[in-house]
């Protein structure tokens, strides 16, 4: 056998794709490759810092902060104009203020699925590849596990499901606080329109952003917190729990997530106390 012969093109292509897949590259953002070295290296935008931070000497930080503030103002205006969930979905699709729209999403904004007046609103972190392709949250492997857990808890038809951001973060990284802040007015308007009785927050990125807390998810899960809207006009009980993607990697943690769901159902079905 001639070991020096070049393999057929199909084998070369398959092997190159397998190499990229092993390296974590699972999607293409454009048809042609960009030579970023020839174009001149540019640094990624720096993250915004608290508004008290001095802007002097940190033009990147100041610019990122201004961008985030502008995005939040625009998001609030668009979200406030939406009178129902269909209008809210259209407003999100029109929104250009979240950097993820241009970074991670290949196909579309991913807003929600579930019952429009559900008593439980589930808020995940952000869409993955499957969600980006299908336009609905939690439809990949983690979503299938979530659905099985909801079915076992009798919650299938009692939930509305969304995320803290509506575009897929590149390589499924955790969304940044700025990206979550830009999308937050839409999440808040969704809460107003659906009017759930309870929020279930999946994973650390959702719990930290929604509750503005710093503890890790293992410290927060299974406990009740009070979620408040930005203007403090709305408040709701909220429970963080483990993200189903984490449960796929750590099946032994499923019993913790199950006990969280059980206490959520108990609170949901508890008769309201007379005022």
**CA distances (Å), 156 to each of 1, 10, 84, 136, 233, in order?**
59, 45, 22, 16, 29
Could you tell me the smallest distance in angstroms from the CB atom of residue 134 to ligand URA? 10
Query: Contact between 185 and ligand URA (CB under 6 A)?
Result: no
Among 126, 175, 196, 222, binds ligand URA (CB under 6 A): 126
Query: Contact between 260 and ligand URA (CB under 6 A)?
Result: no
Distance CA 234, CA 69 (A): 22
Query: Contact between 128 and ligand URA (CB under 6 A)?
Result: yes
Contacts of 261 (CB under 8 A, 6+ apart): 149, 150, 153, 155, 241
Contacts of 242 (CB under 8 A, 6+ apart): 202, 203, 217, 221, 253, 256, 257, 260
Query: Contact between 131 and ligand URA (CB under 6 A)?
Result: yes
Secondary structure class of 170 (helix, strand, coil): helix
Query: Contact between 142 and ligand URA (CB under 6 A)?
Result: yes
Distance CA 137, CA 141 (A): 11
Query: Contact between 127 and ligand URA (CB under 6 A)?
Result: yes
Alpha helices in the chain (DSSP H): 9-22, 36-39, 59-81, 85-94, 100-103, 129-134, 141-152, 177-194, 204-211, 217-220, 244-249, 254-269
- Binding-residue pattern over the window 220 to 259 for ligand URA, x denoting contact by CB under 6 A: -------------------------x--------------
- The count of residues interacting with ligand URA (CB under 6 A) is 14
Among 97, 114, 137, 240, binds ligand URA (CB under 6 A): 137
Nearer to ligand URA, 125 or 178 (CB): 125
Nearer to ligand URA, 245 or 257 (CB): 245
C-alpha angle 93-99-100 in degrees, rounded to nearest 5: 70
Among 71, 78, 121, 163, binds ligand URA (CB under 6 A): 163
Could you tell me the smallest distance in angstroms from the CB atom of residue 126 to ligand URA? 6
Nearer to ligand URA, 163 or 180 (CB): 163
Q: Which residues here bind ligand URA, judged by CB under 6 A?
A: 124-128, 131, 137-138, 140, 142-143, 163, 202, 245
């Amino acid at each position: 056998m001639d070991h020096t012969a070049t393999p057929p093109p199909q084998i070369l292509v398959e092997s190159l794709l397998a190499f990229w897949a092993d390296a974590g590259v699972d999607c293409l953002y454009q048809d042609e490759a960009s030579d970023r070295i020839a174009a001149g290296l540019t640094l990624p935008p720096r993250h915004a810092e608290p508004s008290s931070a001095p802007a002097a000497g940190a033009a990147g930080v100041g610019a990122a902060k201004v961008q985030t503030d502008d995005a939040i103002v625009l998001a609030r205006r668009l979200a406030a104009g939406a009178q129902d969930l269909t209008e809210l979905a259209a407003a999100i699709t029109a929104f250009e203020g979240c950097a993820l729209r241009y970074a991670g999403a290949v196909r579309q904004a991913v807003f929600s699925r579930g019952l429009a007046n559900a008593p439980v609103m589930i808020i995940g972190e952000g869409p993955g590849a499957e969600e980006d392709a299908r336009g609905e949250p939690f439809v990949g492997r983690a979503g299938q596990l979530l659905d099985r857990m909801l079915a076992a808890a009798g919650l299938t038809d009692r939930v509305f499901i969304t995320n803290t951001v509506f575009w897929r973060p590149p390589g499924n990284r955790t969304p940044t606080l700025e990206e979550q802040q830009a999308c937050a007015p839409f999440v808040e308007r969704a809460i107003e329109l659906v009017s759930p009785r309870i929020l279930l927050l999946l994973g650390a990125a959702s719990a930290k952003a929604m509750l503005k807390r710093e503890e890790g998810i293992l410290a927060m899960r299974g406990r009740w917190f009070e979620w408040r809207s930005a203007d403090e006009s709305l408040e709701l009980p909220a429970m963080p729990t483990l993200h189903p993607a984490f449960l796929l990697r750590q099946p032994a943690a499923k019993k913790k997530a199950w006990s969280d769901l059980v206490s959520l159902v108990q609170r949901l079905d508890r008769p309201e106390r007379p005022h």
